[in-house]
Amino acid sequence: MASWTIKDIPDQSGKLAIVTGATGGLGLETALALAGAGAEVVLAGRNPAKGRAAEALIRGRHARAKIRFETVDLASLASVSAFAERILAAGRPIDILVNNAGVMALAKRETTMDGFERQFGTNYLSHFALTGHLLPLLVKAKARVVQLSSIAHRNGTIRLDDLNYSQGYKPWPVYAQTKLAMLMFAIELARRSDAHGWGLTSVAAHPGVATTDLMANGPGASGSRLMAWISAQGVKTIGHSAASGTLPQLMAATSPVVRGGQYFGPQGWKELKGPPGLGKIERQALDADVAAKLWAASETLTGVAFG
């Protein structure tokens, strides 16, 4: 069987897609591919200058692309709510939501505008809230909802007694928790969609090890230039490009054979790189009891309830 590529994306004409973190890296590649397949794409990000540059890049590749940038700061629940209100006011059903944006392994504990640990708040809680806000329009379209996870979920633990790591902060365990939370969110949303008849196809994906700005803006940002260079070279050696890393989430977002609760990633050694396909879900991600408790805590923390 031939490897799946962007050429295998079905025609997306008439569909509306929203991609968070769409002004660079995996998000930009995802938006570029969806626009190229005919979808109307909302590029959601916090930097208008980068948004304009992303729009120009996409239109340079696809002159007739239907795209627009919308401001949202995922470190602020108020910004997430305001963004969602604008989308809801337009009233158009959302066919694809790709919750892609994130930060990685910040050296020191930082907090969002709402006082949440920054990785947990940005990577997971903001996307939980956004999906909840947009649920009416997602249900109308029987949408495909994609959460971006990571191979880091393998080492993740949901710290229910201290989700915000107010004590004992460590960059990588915190990052792993957020990516485990995203995978569990996808699976639990699939369960709840089935139970409530929402008609969503809720899935997750990971890029393997891809060359993006995530490393430079996270662990690479706090070290020496030499260490940042070594990290970047290591990623290039064992991983693949952002365009290749985007394929699992594009498959998750568009393939007609996808089923709710599935997880997609590269098919090479340890899922570090390679063509896209089904990824391995670690046992802790399938714990329905912990998922239900995480969901309840997330509703309390964000003030957003589903349905």
SS3 211: strand
SS3 278: strand
SS3 115: coil
What is the number of other CB atoms lying within 10 angstroms of the CB of residue 109?
17
What is the side-by-side order of every strand in the sheet holding 16-20? 66-71, 40-45, 16-20, 96-99, 144-148, 201-205, 263-266, 276-278
For the question of residue 175 being annotated catalytic, the response is yes
Place of tokens 């089904």: 278
Which of 124, 165, 175, 263 is flagged as catalytic?
175
Q: What are phi and psi of 42, to 5 degrees?
A: -95, 120
Q: 130 CB contacts (<8 Å, ≥6 apart)?
A: 20, 72, 74, 80, 83, 84, 97, 99
Q: What is the 3-state secondary structure (H, E, C) of 6-24?
A: HHHCCCCCCCEEEEECCCC
Cα–Cα distance, 27 to 45 (Å, whole number): 10
Which tokens hold the place of 107?
């050296």
Q: Which residues are catalytic?
A: 175
